[in-house]
Amino acid sequence: MDLLNRLASLDPDIKLKALREVKNQIIGNRTKKLAFLKLGAIPAVASLLAAAIAEADSQLKNGEVTIADKNSNYYNNNTFIQSAAVLGSFACGFDDGVRAVLDAGALPYLIQLLSNPDEKVVDAGARSLRMIYQSKLTPKYEILQDKKMEFLLSLLNSESENVTGLGASIITHSCETSLEQKSLSDAGVLKKLLGLLEGSFSQRDASLESLAALFRNNPEVVSKFVGQESGSALSSIIGLTKDRYPRTRLLACMCLIVIRNSSPFYLQDVGIKTKLLYLSLELLDDPGEVGDEAPFVFSSLIMEKEDLQKLAFEANALEKFSNHLQNSRLHPKRLQGILLALADICSKLESCRYRFLSLEVWNMVTNALTHDSAGVRTAACICIRSVTRSIKNLCAGYFMNEVLVIPLVQLLNDSLVSVQVAALGAISNILVDFTTGKSTFVQCGALKQLIQLSKSMESTVRLNALWALKNMVFLADDRCKEGIFMELTASLLASLICDHNPFVQEQALALVRNLIDGCISSVEYVFTENGIILDAVRKQLESTSKAEIGIQGMYVLGNVASGNEFHKEAVMQQLLPQVDNENQSFIIKFLQSNDSRLRTAAVWAIVNLTFPSSPGAFRRLIKLRSLGIVPEIRNMVNDPCLDVKLRVRTVLGQAVIFGDGLT
């Protein structure tokens, strides 16, 4: 392109003019940015910058300043300013641009501009770097390295607004660990940032964001900040929640929420909670970026906090978000934020789910399952997952319908693993169905997909597919179970029980547990293919140190032991210690576990093995005594957990029936 040729011109005037033209064309114009990027404009501009820096450096080395030098100084400075502006503009809100600027090696050159004697050059460099440091793609600034901390502090101490703003942006971008937070705090950065809260609106905003980065999950830094200025530091931020700029109000709100979430001592009273809630809801009405970000700020306030979800419910947050949802031309980021906020409000309270369902915007959520943006599709799944925690509605089969199930099942083929996993989460809940819904699910081909996903290379996918299957098998009728087992096969189940990922093992064991509950003939499943499943269960129980695996495995054995004589004898075989192994059964370590759920599961198996109505019960009791199991159980007669204690007494009560004097 002609413009790029002119950039390469030997004539400095032409070069400079071309630079200005590129700058003017790309500013705020994503299409132009992309077009120029494809033509290689960024490396070209980066080279110009590098060349200008090299020339300026060599002049310095020469010492004397001639008229020619002064001329080239003028061109150099302008080149610095214009190329910095161009590179910054490419990086502004445009990921591909950021990548290209970094790949062109421009970052160190821009940093060099900050030491230039000319204020305008410094400013241009700082502005450009601020845009680059807004992107997650930019590599982390290693705050803890010697010279780096010094340099960062010098930025914060500068007279220039853009340079202090850059210092704050770097902190926002790169301050992550508690050590980094502490080091910055110890270096006096908190005081500096507090001062910036009184500065221009740009300085205030930059300061609020970097303070949040310093506070995040660090109660010591929070306390140190709040202690400044005789306790009025916090009031400075609270005051900014009433600022006339919406962005400042949003950032102040966000910063206060971070303080609240990071320290139990501040901002915990109902007054401030309510204020923050209403503020984040009000900011939703902003038509621009502030409104796009408001739902995320709202979520950070209420996430995992039942009291705040209740307050949000009372503040009609559900209605507010639902009204926004009805706008058909939502920016994807805003739609994603709204869906996630709805998910958070409905995450714990049935009253919230009930109210949300009554607002009749459910179809908006299901529509979002086919959105172009992966973030929106994932958020829709997460919203559905929250709402389908409504046990009452699950029992009524409310969610098992085509409108919801078909698009969710389609997402199991999504190109992104994160979307598949989110869809599996929602499907797992819907499959807890007490009506005839499960067979509908099988009929629409979804079962095959779930089983396919249980063989995925990604362990989170395997784990979540098994979770869905586990819920599906729960109380399923015999035909449904048979259908599932034929597709899964004993070999696949056995290999999943022995998966290298313990969470996958746990889900596979829980699935088998559910499979063999119900009609007594279901117990036979663990004996198919020469008992390959039962062997796998035993193998895991012998080697595991994870309570959850012990619990599910023991319930599998316990369920088998509730069957007939053959089944009970098979379980006895599993309990026998291996000849070449340690000389006690694995069940003894479970009976001694700190986890009461595991102790309970282990004792239930023994209850079943010694169940009085079965012919071989007495013989098994004798054997269990010789294995040291009954004496171990006798020691548990005053177990601190009531459930365990009662089951232990059941075993001992059953033993008394045989009059063996074992108690």
Partner 1 sequence: MPVRVVETSAPSQISGAISEQISPPFCTLLSVGQTFSGTQNVSSLQKDEAWRVNVRIQGYDLDHGYLCGTMEALNVPMADTPVVTFWEGEIVDGKNYTFFTGKWEASAEDDIRHWTKFPSFSPFLCQVEVDGGKSLDLSNYPCIFLRWKEQYFVNVGTDCGLTIAGFYYVCFSCTDGSINGFYYDPNSSPFQKLELKSTNEGRSGFSFSSYELQ
Residues interacting with partner 1, by CB under 8 A? 347-348, 350, 385, 388-389, 391-392, 394-396, 421, 425-426, 428-429, 432, 434, 460, 463-464, 467, 470-471, 473-475, 503, 510, 513-514, 516-520, 551, 555, 558-559, 561-564, 594-597, 600, 604, 607-609, 611, 613-614, 640-643, 646-647, 649
**What secondary structure letter does DSSP report for 413?**
G
Complex with partner 1: residue 267 or 422, whichever CB lies closer: 422
Find the shortest distance in angstroms from Cβ 362 to partner 1. 18
Label residue 158 left, alpha or beta by phi (over 0 means left) and psi (-120 to 50 means alpha): beta
Q: Tell me whether residue 186 or residue 478 sits nearer to partner 1 (CB atom).
A: 478
Burial degree of 386 (CB within 10 A; 0-12, 13-18, 19+): buried
659 exposure class (CB count in 10 Å sphere: 0-12, 13-18, 19+): exposed
> CB 23 → partner 1: shortest distance, Å?
47
Closest to partner 1 by CB, 113 vs 511, is: 511
Q: How far is the CB of 38 from partner 1 (least distance, A)?
A: 40
| Minimum CB–partner distance for residue 449 and partner 1 (Å) | 18
Closer of 414 and 517 to partner 1 (Cβ): 517
Considering the complex, what minimum distance in angstroms separates the CB of residue 497 from partner 1? 17
**Closest approach of Cβ 322 to partner 1, in Å?**
23
CB count within 10 Å of CB 495 equals 14
**288's tokens:** 């621009």
- H or E stretch at 597: helix 596-609
Residue closer to partner 1, measured from CB, 138 or 614: 614
Amino acid at 141: Y
CA-CA-CA-CA dihedral for 518, 523, 528, 533, to nearest 10: 100
CB of 423 to partner 1, least distance (A): 11
Min CB(320)–partner 1 separation in Å: 25
**Tokens at 539, concatenated:** 């193998």
Minimum CB distance to partner 1, residue 121 (Å)? 49
Listed in sequence order, the residues at least 6 apart from 607 whose beta carbon sits closer than 8 Å to its beta carbon are 558, 647, 650, 651, 654
Question: What is the dihedral angle through the alpha carbons of 635, 640, 646, 649, rounded to the nearest 10 degrees?
Answer: 20
Token pair listed for 644: 């365990």
Nearest CA among 158, 144, 230, 216 for reference residue 187: 144
Query: Which residues lie below 8 Å from residue 461, measured CB to CB, with a gap of 6+?
Result: 417, 420, 421, 424, 453
Residue 523 CB, shortest distance to partner 1, in Å, is 9
Q: Is 360 left (phi over 0), alpha (psi -120 to 50) or beta?
A: left
The nearest distance, CB 312 to partner 1, in angstroms, is 17
Q: Which is nearer to partner 1, 334 or 385 (CB)?
A: 385
Query: From the CB of 389, what's the least distance to partner 1, in Å?
Result: 5
Question: Are the beta carbons of 308 and 301 closer than 8 angstroms?
Answer: yes
Closest CA to 192 of 158, 221, 150: 158
499 and 507 in contact (C-beta within 8 Å)?
no
For 478, the token pair is 């015999």
For partner 1, give the closer residue by CB, 361 or 598.
598
3-class SS at 414?
A: coil
Q: What is the DSSP string of 579-591?
A: TTS-SS-HHHHHH
Read off the amino acid at residue 463.
L
Cα separation, 333 vs 137, in Å, equals 19
Q: Which residues contact 620 (CB under 8 A, 6 or more apart)?
A: 568, 572, 609, 610
Q: Which of these, 466, 527, 533, lies nearest to 541 by C-alpha position?
A: 533
Which residue's CB is nearer to partner 1, number 41 or number 346?
A: 346
CB 433 within 8 A of CB 446: no
Nearer to partner 1, 206 or 644 (CB): 644
Cβ closer to partner 1: 125 or 425? 425
What is the token pair recorded at 110?
Answer: 């821009």
User: For residues 174 and 464, which CB has a smaller minimum distance to partner 1 in the complex?
Assistant: 464
Output 226 or 422, the one with its CB closest to partner 1: 422
Minimum distance, C-beta of residue 217 to partner 1, in the bound complex (Å): 18
Closest separation between CB of residue 277 and partner 1, Å?
A: 22
Nearer to partner 1, 142 or 350 (CB): 350
For the CB of residue 599, give the shortest distance to partner 1 in the complex, in Å.
9
> Distance (Å, rounded) from C-alpha 591 to C-alpha 645?
12
Which of 111, 641 has the CB closer to partner 1? Answer: 641
Decide: 241 and 249 in contact? Cβ < 8 Å: yes
By beta-carbon proximity to partner 1, the closer residue of 209 and 517 is 517
State how far the Cα of 535 lies from the Cα of 157, in Å rounded to an integer: 68
**Cα radius of gyration rounded to whole Å, the chain:** 33
